[in-house]
Structure 1
Amino acid sequence: MKSSILSGSNNGRNKNKNERSTSDMPRYEQIALEIASKIARKHYKQGEKLYGRSALAGQYNVSPETIRRAVALLQSMNVVVAQPGRGIIVGTAEAAEAFIKEFESRYIVQDMCNQIVQLVEERNRLNREIDEILNKLVAYTTRMAGRLQKIEEIQVPRGSYLVGKSLSAVDFRARTGATVLAVERNGEQIFSPDVSFIIQEADILVFVGPPESKNKVYDLVNT
């Protein structure tokens, strides 16, 4: 019988986990598991008398009270039996195996619970970081809202001051603060027109600029 709690595993990760579990146990539970493991491996045989409590206390370098608690734990699952006049008698290997499996299940569940607690703490930490970043983003976008540039369109009407003139001739950017991104003419789009581009009637100017540039473009186009 091999106990994953006591004997570990060839898998390094499981071994580390099991070592952590046994080290977290109270000392009397560790002793009880070690005795149960020896019974399961038939190092101690059924019906055999164990050492007295004082001898066991010396062997494990613990107090007699710790041994008493370890023996009581083993007795609770019939791994050992205390018989008046005879002392502590070894039970069956099957009872010892059942005892070990009980503790394996207990510490597997405990380990999973510990992992859940750690993951919840990590999730809460990440949520706090996300909230902090979102708050910074909202504050930043609020400050920038008045400075964001919006794409606008305007059609050049008949008789406009712009008709027949180039963008440079009317000082479009200098007078409005806006940049012409494209011009739609007869259903076709002319992207990034240069400063020599001649504006015609019914052209649709697609421009971008700060909020105050919109009214300036409208005034210039409708002059």
Structure 2
Amino acid sequence: MSKQTKTPNYIKIAIDIAHRIINNEFLEGSKITGRTTLVSIYNVSPETIRRSLALLKDMNVVTINEKSGIIINDKQSAKDFLNKFKTKSDFTHLNSETFDLIKQRKEIDNKLEKNINSIIEFATQLRNVGSIIPFESIVEKDSIAVDKSIGELNFWHNTKATIIAVKREGDLFLSPGPYFKINAQDVIVYVGEDSVLETVKNYISLPSNIHTK
């Protein structure tokens, strides 16, 4: 969610006065007798009203006469004032939205970098085992491997294969350690001699009630 910029009170009051002029609450050519009247209307400090009026004076919406008070000039000047601040508000929104998009792009870039690093690490694993092509085997729900760690399975001892990764519901776990537990429907990625493909399949197809060493 984007962080909204808080509009200062003196700008809000200046905008409200301009709206009142357009809506004939403050009539063209009429006078507001001093800042104290506006202070009581808006319940703010005299300094806030002074800044609001200075803003309106700069856009020729009002004329300030220290003796006779504040004179309302014309509706068109009030409209021009509001259009100016609408443009400024639109710019602020666009600016905020742009920074949000930049933040989102950085998050996507970080995720892409993480995925690329995982791919590179996986490729390195494959290079480390030479030209051996990795095998894959799925773990069925009644397999001896379900809910057991790689260490508990004595996987290499029983199959002469080395697990280099485990695929699980779209995620890839590289170099799982001896405490990594296998779930049903996991895909084990492993390397070894050609004979290990059959050995691993036979091993993980053993029922879960079989005890191994």
2:63 maps to what in 1?
Answer: 81
Displacement of 1:51 in angstroms is 4.3
- Cα distance in structure 1, aligned partners of 2:34 and 2:65: 12
1:99 maps to what in 2?
Answer: 81
Displacement of 1:149 in angstroms is 5.5
C-alpha RMSD of matched pairs (Å): 2.4
Which runs of no fewer than 5 residues in structure 1 stay unpaired? 1-16, 151-209, 214-223
Which runs of no fewer than 5 residues in structure 2 stay unpaired? 136-190, 195-213
Question: Hey, which bits of structure 1, 4+ residues long, moved more than 4 A?
Answer: 210-213
Q: Deviations over 1:36-65 (max 9, x none)?
A: 011112221111112421221122121100
Aligned pairs (5 A) from 1:87-166: 87-145=69-127, 146=129, 147-148=132-133
- One-letter amino acid of the structure 2 residue matched with residue 116 of structure 1: T
Over alpha carbons, which structure has the higher Rg?
Answer: 1
- One-letter amino acid of the structure 1 residue matched with residue 24 of structure 2: K
Displacement of 1:106 in angstroms is 0.6
Q: Deviations over 1:169-215 (max 9, x none)?
A: xxxxxxxxxxxxxxxxxxxxxxxxxxxxxxxxxxxxxxxxx7966xx
2:9 maps to what in 1?
Answer: 27
Greater percentage in helix: 1
- Cα distance in structure 1, aligned partners of 2:134 and 2:88: 63
- One-letter amino acid of the structure 2 residue matched with residue 77 of structure 1: M
Task: Rate the CA distance shift 1:84–1:67 in 2: closer, same or farther, 3 A.
Answer: closer
1:194 maps to what in 2?
Answer: none
Q: Deviations over 1:16-44 (max 9, x none)?
A: x9xx97x7211000000000011112221
Displacement of 1:129 in angstroms is 1.3
Q: Secondary structure at the match of 1:24?
A: coil
Which one is further off, 23-32 or 50-59? 50-59
- Cα distance in structure 1, aligned partners of 2:24 and 2:77: 12
Displacement of 1:141 in angstroms is 2.1
What TM-score comes out, normalization by structure 2 length? 0.58
What TM-score comes out, normalization by structure 1 length? 0.55
